[in-house]
């Protein structure tokens, strides 16, 4: 297996003669089965050979000892190759090499859990309030995506309580909650703080209901004030949309995929989560319809499949989508082939907006969603129709787009103001 990646026999011999030679060959076979490109394998194998030599020189003689040597190896590698580079670049170098090393070690030591891409899965307050997350599902009927947000915010709250020495829920007080909000507000925006405070407020009501604390402290959890219609949606002009689409290199697999994604976002105003969830069964080619199931408002929407979007999807499905039995439409281009999540979808929109030089606050997939809604507003469609089209749960979500006549303001800004007299 190694011969196809290295032309020089001495390179192959050096790998096979090291004490982890056989595991490295097995790792190469594993990479090949996962669909990794040859160039990626070629880069990883010498790295792993150096890790084998490094761990051996530090006294490792069994596979179970390897995890103890990953951190020092990454630190030395980063230091040697990060000279005269920024701290962010040094960390990036470390993360780039940690992944392959941890992959190899995880194949040799099944109990090993690496740091590189590990995710926290334990529920916060599992001992103090074990029934809270069951309550969110069974009584409140929340979706899994929403429950993940609850878990994230409550882990932050739990970590804060441990840090300040609050070990039991009975020790909670308005002063503790106020200090928590003050600390978090220094590093979070209004939207994030609103979600944080809302989550903790629900948790406080629950533990009071369950008599885990003596009084209801939910009213002491005050979030930032948000005023209705206070923000202007971050839409862009249609000319800027064209510039963004023209910046996509549609000759390669990535470009074919991303072009179809961008068209879905801006044509139908879809959310990134809705695009990532699309499956092959959601496209009705015979009736020329696109079905978007399980939207945020709890319903499904059937769109007419536009010719431009249909052609882009066909081009991607025929020439760029990996051969897989999974039904999701959009996949990573590089192995391991996995369906794209909503963060990846939004990141692609951010990438092309910046590539096209489009200046907008917080560029991402929602920029294109806002642009779709604003275009419909400018075309004077009824708000109810627009809300149904893009899947708004509340009419107030659509109403904000009518607050400012964007194009009219641009004309005033570019003119000399005489028309205003």
By annotation, the residues acting in catalysis are 271, 296, 366, 369, 392, 401
Taking alpha carbons only, the member of 239, 244, 268 closest to residue 355 is 244
Does residue 220 contact residue 275 with C-beta atoms inside 8 Å?
A: no
Region label for 293, one of left (φ > 0), alpha (ψ between -120 and 50) or beta (otherwise)? beta
Taking alpha carbons only, the member of 82, 113, 93, 4 closest to residue 47 is 93
Half-sphere exposure (Cβ direction) of 254: Cα atoms closer than 13 Å: 12
Site of tokens 């699309």: 278
Identify the DSSP state of 174: H
- Residue 287 CA: distances (Å) to CA of 284, 309, 402: 6, 14, 34
- Residue 164 CA: distances (Å) to CA of 42, 169, 182: 49, 13, 14
Which residues are 331's β-sheet partners?
339
CA distance 148 to 343: 14
Half-sphere exposure (Cβ direction) of 38: Cα atoms closer than 13 Å: 7
Does residue 147 contact residue 136 with C-beta atoms inside 8 Å?
A: yes
Q: Which two tokens stand for residue 75?
A: 């630190």
Instruction: Supply φ then ψ for residue 271, to 5 degrees.
Output: -80, 155
Taking alpha carbons only, the member of 143, 114, 172, 167 closest to residue 295 is 143
Which residues are 302's β-sheet partners?
291
Write down how long the chain is. 421
Q: Which two tokens stand for residue 227?
A: 């005023």
- Residue 259, judged by CB atoms within 10 A of its CB (0-12, 13-18, 19+), counts as buried
Does residue 259 contact residue 314 with C-beta atoms inside 8 Å?
A: no
């Amino acid at each position: 297996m190694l011969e196809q990646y290295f032309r020089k026999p001495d390179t192959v011999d050096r790998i096979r003669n090291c004490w982890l030679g056989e595991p490295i060959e097995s790792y190469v076979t594993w990479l090949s089965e996962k669909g990794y490109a040859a160039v990626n394998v070629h880069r990883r194998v010498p790295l792993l050979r150096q890790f084998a030599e490094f761990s051996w020189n530090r006294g490792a003689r069994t596979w179970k000892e390897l995890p103890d040597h990953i951190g020092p190896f990454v630190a030395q590698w980063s230091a040697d190759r990060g000279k005269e580079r920024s701290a962010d670049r040094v960390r990036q170098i470390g993360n780039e090499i940690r992944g392959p090393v941890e992959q190899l070690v995880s194949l040799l030591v099944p109990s090993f859990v690496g740091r590189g891409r590990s995710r926290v899965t334990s529920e916060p307050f599992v001992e103090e309030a074990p029934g809270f997350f069951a309550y969110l599902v069974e009584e409140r009927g929340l979706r899994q995506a929403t429950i993940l947000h609850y878990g994230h915010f409550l882990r932050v709250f739990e970590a804060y309580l441990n840090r300040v020495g609050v070990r039991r829920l009975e020790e909670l007080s308005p002063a503790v909650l106020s200090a928590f909000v003050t600390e978090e507000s220094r590093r979070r925006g209004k939207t994030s703080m609103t979600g944080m405070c809302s989550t903790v407020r629900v948790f406080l009501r629950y533990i009071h209901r369950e008599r885990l604390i003596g009084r209801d402290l939910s009213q002491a959890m005050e979030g930032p004030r948000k005023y209705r219609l206070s923000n202007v949606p971050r839409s862009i002009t249609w000319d800027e949309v064209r510039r963004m689409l023209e910046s996509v290199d549609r000759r390669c697999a990535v470009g074919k995929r991303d072009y179809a994604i961008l068209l879905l976002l801006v044509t139908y105003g879809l959310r990134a989560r809705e695009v990532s969830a699309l499956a092959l069964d959601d496209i009705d080619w015979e009736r020329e319809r696109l079905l978007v199931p399980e939207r945020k408002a709890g319903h499904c929407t059937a769109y007419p499949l536009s010719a431009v979007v249909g052609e882009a999807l066909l081009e991607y499905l025929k020439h760029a989508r990996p051969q897989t039995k999974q039904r999701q439409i959009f996949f990573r281009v590089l192995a391991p082939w996995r369906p794209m999540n909503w963060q990846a979808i939004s990141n692609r929109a951010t990438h092309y907006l910046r590539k096209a030089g489009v200046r907008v606050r917080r560029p991402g997939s929602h920029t294109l969603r806002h642009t779709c809604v604003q275009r419909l507003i400018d075309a004077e469609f009824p708000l109810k129709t627009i809300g149904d089209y893009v899947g708004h749960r509340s009419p107030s979500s659509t109403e904000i787009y009518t607050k400012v006549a964007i194009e009219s303001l641009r004309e005033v800004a570019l003119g000399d103001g005489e028309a205003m007299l």
